[in-house]
A and B are shown apart, each in its own frame.
Chain A
Amino acid sequence: MKLSREARRQSRQLFDLALVDTRLDVARLRTIFDGVAERKPRQYVQILKELTRLVRLELSSHHAVIESAFPLDPAQAERFESDLRGQFGDITTEFRSNPALIGGVRVQIGSDVWDGSVQARLQAIKQLL
């Protein structure tokens, strides 16, 4: 169902309420979410869905997904984590293995991507040709 402008505005306000010092406070978010679900204001399902979307986007911008062709060993993973924390501050990390990359590593934080995989380079060569 289409999200009305009013519902979008309200979900944005609720999301802002859940922020403490520009970071998401999970306890606050829970209280807000449950409060809305309990009171059932007009279009509350849409509001909650939009709120969830905003939360997902916010979390993903502080969440690094590190993809590699083969699983990294714990020492490498540890180095990655500490290096990324050094650069981007307090972020969560997730390691995935993706054989399609062929080799190398692809790091995604929010919508920023650093792609050092063989697949991406092959793609670049393909486009040049």
Chain B
Amino acid sequence: MSNIVLELEEKIGAIKSESARKTNVGIVREIGDGVARVEGLSSAMLNEMLEFPGGLYGLALNLEETEVGVIILGDYTTISEGDEVKTTGKLLQVPVGKALLGRVVSSLGQPLDGKGPINATEFYPVEKIAPGIIKRRSVSQPVQTGIMAIDAMIPIGRGQRELIIGDRATGKTTIAIDTIINQAHINRAGEESGDPSFRPLYSIYVGVGQKNANIARVVAALEAQDALKYTIIVASTASDAASDQYIAPFSGSSMGEWFMDNGMDALIVFDDLTKHANAYRQISLLLKRPSGREAYPGDVFYLHSRLLERSARLSEKYGDGSMTALPIIETQAGDVSAYIPTNVISITDGQIYLETDLFYQGVRPAISVGLSVSRVGSAAQIKAMKQVAGKIKGDLAQYRELAAFAQFGSDLDARTKSTLERGARIVELFKQPQYRPIAVGTQAAVLWSMQKGIFDAIPVNRVKEIQGKLVEFFETRKEAIMAKIAAKKQIDGEVETELLAAIEEFKSFNS
């Protein structure tokens, strides 16, 4: 009997609390440029969603004595002075989950691709506290970018934050897109193999302040390679309000965190954080926050550090998931010591630095070996790559130094000459067209052949051609060896003998 009484009482309680809900209201005093100042709202909380008339929402960012500074999400032109604003008691949320894969969404998770509504069942707050020390473990599994120069010299691990930095039009986005495409190739191969221990890597591309045409190009490139189905695109373009651009990377992170929290792996690209900092600067200036260096607000460092700290590799006890971040920063005239670039460099676990000069010399991807570094990724590199790529970074650095000197004199000793010859060939080998990632096994086989001096006898201008033939030979006629490297993840005695025999066979074809 007592049960039914309790139940009825509960029901009555629910009715009562529904009948007159307490809310807190304010009146719009000023509105403009996507920012409103609202008088009242005495109990609004920081980052709380506020409801404007017409179903619009805003975010309380400044809590002052008698006013609240609000950024409006969406079209603010319908709001006018004197409108009533209500608190909702909720934080800003975005839909998360696998339903978002293959979709292009706004910074609030609304579909932009005309493929109908998104049937997400779960929501995550946009601002989340990063996983703490207890939940984390160090990076130990690789993210294969499919770009030989990166996988060999600047390896990236799952859970790492690797900055892609360079001037405009040096191929920053291309590296990120190549990586996403390569994940799709690996995921597809993994799914086909039916290996239960295979861990797919889902990608999230966050476009901040990008041109609409650029986003469309990214979508088209991913669709062409059938990579979109493993990817979520969060688009906040140059025509969107600064508030949307400010939120987009955080929304993308929440979507990635869902994969991480559920024991899966995610890769997130922020393209780019320079424009994100600009959007945040705009909001901060409109909110009349004190400005600091280059008119950025005082917390612009915290803005990016809290965003990138959300990428992590979780320990097995917490599901073993990970979120890898590839933030992109655009520099002006190669100046890495500017305000925002130095901030982000200091937060990340390494950077891939792209140089304009290299790009125009035809070295693409234009990765500067001297300035690029991966602080934690080598722990995640597979053994085969470690075996063949261990010394390459040093060799290339030496080559660059010697090449600068060799321009002045012609009398070179034999050792210098061989370093120069080898270096020029490595540079050639690392050249790679866009949207054509290379499987890690093939990369290891090519670099192994290089170390064995296969390319030394070939003129530099024919290296690329022979490399193409060699790759084709390995992938079509020596599939067994490639499969062995992929399975063993190292080049042991057995594989080495087979590789040597294969190389001899290849030479006999091409002599």
Given A111-B25, A111-B40, do A116 and B55 touch, yes or no (CB 8 Å)? no
Given contacts A57-B39, A57-B66, contact A111 B20 (CB under 8 A): no
Report A-chain residues with C-beta under 8 Å of the C-beta of B66.
Answer: 53-54, 57
Q: Which residues of A contact B341 (CB under 8 A)?
A: none
Chain B residues within an 8 Å CB radius of A81: none
Interface check A108, CB cutoff 8 A: yes
Q: How far is the CB of B383 from chain A (nearest CB, A)?
A: 57
Closest Cβ of chain B: how far from A83's Cβ, in Å? 13
How far is B23's CA from A113's CA once the two chains are assembled, in angstroms? 5
A111-B22 contact in complex given A54-B66, A57-B66, A127-B55, C-beta closer than 8 Å: no
B42 touches A111 (CB 8 A): yes
Q: Which of A90-129 contact B (CB under 8 A)?
A: 105, 108, 110-116, 127
- Residues of B with C-beta under 8 A to A116: 19-20
Query: Chain B residues with Cβ under 8 A from A61's Cβ?
Result: 42
Closest to B44 in A: A111
Chain A residues in 8 Å Cβ range of B43? 111-112
How many B residues touch A, CB cutoff 8 Å?
16
Q: How many A-B residue pairs have CB under 8 A?
A: 37
Shortest distance from the beta carbon of A34 to any chain B beta carbon, whole Å: 24
Chain B nearest CB from A112 CB (Å) reads 6
Instruction: Kindly list chain B residues whose C-beta atoms are within 8 Å of the C-beta of A127.
Output: 55
Indicate if B26 sits at the interface (CB-CB under 8 A): yes
User: How far apart sit A57 and B42, CA to CA, in the bound complex (Å)?
Assistant: 11
Q: What residues of B have a CB within 8 angstroms of the CB of A105 in the complex?
A: 20
B39 and A115 within 8 A (CB): no
CB closest residue in chain A, given B27: A111
Interface assignment of B282: CB less than 8 Å from any CB of chain A: no
Chain A CB within 10 Å — which of B22, B39, B66 has the most?
B66
User: Quick one: CB contact mask for B14-46 with A, threshold 8 Å, 1 for yes?
Assistant: 000001111111100000000000011111000
The winner among A110, A111, A114, A127 for most chain B CB atoms within 10 A is A111
Contact A114 B22 (CB under 8 A): yes
Residue interface bits A44-85, CB-to-B below 8 A is 1, else 0: 000000000110010001000000000000000000000000
Which listed residue (A54, A57, A110, A115) contacts B20, Cβ 8 A?
A: A115
Residues of B within 8 A of A108 (CB): 25
Closest to B87 in A: A111
Question: Shortest beta-carbon distance, B117 to chain A, in Å?
Answer: 14
Provide the residues of chain B in CB contact with A113, threshold 8 Å: 22-25, 86
In the bound complex, do residue B41 and residue A112 qualify as a contact, i.e. CB atoms below 8 Å apart? no
Q: Which residues of B contact A115 (CB under 8 A)?
A: 20-21, 23
Tell me the bound Cα distance from A110 to B22 in angstroms: 12
Closest chain B residue to A112, Cβ basis: B24
Residue among A53, A54, A111 making CB contact with B26, cutoff 8 Å? A111
Separation of A85 and B139 alpha carbons in the complex (Å): 63
Q: Are A112 and B42 in contact, with the CB atoms below 8 A?
A: yes
Q: How far is the CA of A97 from the CA of B133 in the complex (A)?
A: 58
Residue of chain B at shortest CB distance from A58? B66
Q: Which residues of chain B are near A53, meaning CB under 8 Å? A: 66
Q: Which residue of A lies closest to B66 (CB)?
A: A57
Nearest A residue to B86 by beta-carbon distance?
A113
Residues of chain A lying within 8 A (CB to CB) of residue B86 = 113
Q: Which residue in chain A gives the minimum CB-CB distance to B29?
A: A53
CB distance from A15 to the nearest CB of B (A): 11
**How distant is the Cα of A23 from the Cα of B22 in the complex, in angstroms?**
25
Distance of B227 from chain A, by nearest CB (Å): 37
B21 near A111 with CB under 8 A, answer no
| Chain B hits for A114, CB < 8 A | 20-22
Question: A13 CB to closest chain B CB, in angstroms?
Answer: 13
Minimum CB distance partner of B42 in chain A: A111
Q: Which residue of B lies closest to A54 (CB)?
A: B66
What are 24 sample pairs from A and B whose C-beta atoms fall under 8 A apart?
A54-B66, A61-B42, A105-B20, A108-B25, A110-B40, A110-B42, A111-B24, A111-B26, A111-B40, A111-B41, A111-B42, A111-B43, A112-B23, A112-B24, A112-B25, A112-B42, A112-B43, A113-B23, A113-B24, A113-B25, A113-B86, A115-B21, A115-B23, A116-B20
What is the interface of chain A, defined by CB distance below 8 A to chain B?
A: 53-54, 57, 61, 105, 108, 110-116, 127
New A-B pairs, 5, CB < 8 Å, besides A110-B42, A115-B23? A54-B66, A61-B42, A111-B25, A111-B43, A127-B55
Closest 9 CB pairs of A and B: A116-B20, A111-B40, A111-B42, A114-B20, A113-B25, A113-B23, A111-B24, A114-B22, A111-B25
